[in-house]
Chain A
């Protein structure tokens, strides 16, 4: 339908403040856009980053949330590949299929998406939301903390009709990011030794990816030993808590592994941890991958590390080309080749989102599922 929808959403009016449940207006989908009824969403650390940590204070007011799943409510002119009722996952990285990045198999960084303006919020004139007379920005082009959202079709993935949306929503970010970092970016090899730094959802998904790729040894590194038990579920074989060591963690890992790991993944987003991860891989052929995100600081390391044969890489969204990759991950979950349920520690309705935020801030959850418009 071509009408404005009034619905409920959690609005971030300003940084460092709780989200407020408001009635918002959601415009009908324009050309090549799709309006989606959001069924469920995860809360990802990047949502909190924008709210609490980012140096960009001008991205407000906004509706956050980028790890969601829902059902197509209506489509705009020119949309042929989606129809009302389709199950979909909105994507914070687009896949237009035509730009030089989409055509290059080595990258997933489509340049046609909204994120070419800036990588956190869509600008005023691209947003579909208003509230109390003001434009509300769409976070990462997705804004899943809303009963309805509007997304360009190049940033929507059509998924398996029977997929449980309150589980597969997690493939909208965290799990795909970590899993893909291991299988696509690091390209973990069978029999190898891996180290994963940080055991939030992204790190656990990276552990899962290392295991799927056949690593024989997966060393999980976290300053919170409570997280080791869950890491074991996903395949971790060794557990290191840097706060309990008297030597730098990269040195300890080198000693544990006869020189260093084959693959190291940083899933925290802290430049000090990045340095440790970069230095933990073996000389000669070691590969370190940055997965965690920050724009606040530079990282530093010694060039002799590169000269002695280490490779440093990084990726966004696990290197998955989004529209192609997400439906396949959903299928893998349906075929029980991929775990998702084990990431879910809490479930609550959208209006309790501030509780979910508190849980995440204090490291007391892995993933909370927020039911937005339950199926």
Chain B
């Protein structure tokens, strides 16, 4: 356990030492919160595909060693100077984008891309080395320090071991459907990719009143869960010799009203876009990639399709996550159904394997006990 205010407080964390290396649970030091920072005790965390981006997918990241994890929930342990909105004991969820409330983007109702990127960073050390804080958060640790513009205060009765999933994947997919695509009642939607983000997008399409939600995945084992969230039609591209967009256009008398790409692959993005009906079709890129380029014929846009994209479902982070928690508490939002596995921190590498092999939706890692 940490005591407030001492330099060099120790706790356990899963440290990522290098690309493709197993995470190692180590004793690390976590510094006290500085100006406008908050130190939180992490109670539970999900593991999101983005956590694995540099660990497994993309080589050459200079951020090792690091503590990964950004989809967590916890309790405020201590606050730094000038922090007024949080107190020890508050239940909180760190958020993957900031909301300072003052910058040009925070002030514009159409955007959630706050520019005040404050990475507390350099608050964790292990064996004499500084550990990079992934996304400025690092929830694979019993304690972490986050910036006050990247922290949401949530309902006191919220079960942290479940709502931790509202720290990333679910708002990302759900918001993409509701805020960015702006799915309309009675419409036909297509969701590409049935990981947690895609399932959340299905949930969003349903909440917005879509009457037909076509889900597309190359792994048909995922269809059953998609049905739980509201999917009505199931298409596996492997069953078709033709391009998938042709299949969808045929199924829907010209194309879907809304499509959401929840994979992060530029070819799927093209398919999703070209699956939309001309005239008013809207396609949203939800899956994240920094590599590759999307392409299409200009005529696709000239014929009236709109292409959009978003980060974190377009939600202004600090103000929205508490509302999503409230929706869950009021049973208007499903979260439990995303939890496919629960594991303690010590078994984190199993969680990595499950995610890499596509065998989990969300594994919740129990990090600390709630007193």
Contact = CB atoms under 8 A, between A and B. Distances in A.
Nearest to A291: B302
Contacts of A109: 278-279, 303-304
B254 to A, nearest CB: 8
A314 B288 CA distance: 24
A308 B110 contact: no
Contact of B105 (A106, A269, A284, A314): A284
Given A283-B113, A290-B298, A303-B266, A315 B304 contact: yes
Contact of B285 (A290, A307, A314): A307
B304 A298 contact: no
A293 B309 CA distance: 24
For B290, B294, B310, which residue has the most chain A Cβ atoms within 10 angstroms? B294
A182 to B, nearest CB: 15
A307 B306 CA distance: 14
Contacts of B108: 284-285
Contacts of B304: 106-107, 109, 313-316, 319
A309 B279 contact: no
B309 A309 contact: yes
B53 interface: no
B295 A299 contact: yes
A299 B108 CA distance: 30
Q: On chain B, which size bracket covers the interface?
A: 35 or more
A293 B269 CA distance: 22
A271 interface: yes
Interface string A159-174: 0000000000000000
A314 B303 CA distance: 7
Contacts of A294: 298
Contacts of A307: 285, 288, 309-311
A292 B310 CA distance: 26
Contacts of A312: 301, 306-308
B293 A303 contact: yes
B311 A303 contact: no
Contacts of B289: 303-304
A284 B97 CA distance: 13
Contacts of B105: 284
A305 B298 CA distance: 17
Nearest to A110: B279
B299 interface: yes
29 contacts: A107-B278, A109-B303, A269-B298, A274-B298, A283-B111, A284-B105, A284-B108, A284-B110, A284-B113, A285-B108, A290-B301, A293-B298, A298-B297, A299-B296, A299-B298, A300-B295, A303-B285, A303-B292, A305-B309, A306-B309, A307-B310, A308-B311, A309-B309, A309-B310, A309-B311, A313-B307, A314-B302, A314-B303, A315-B304
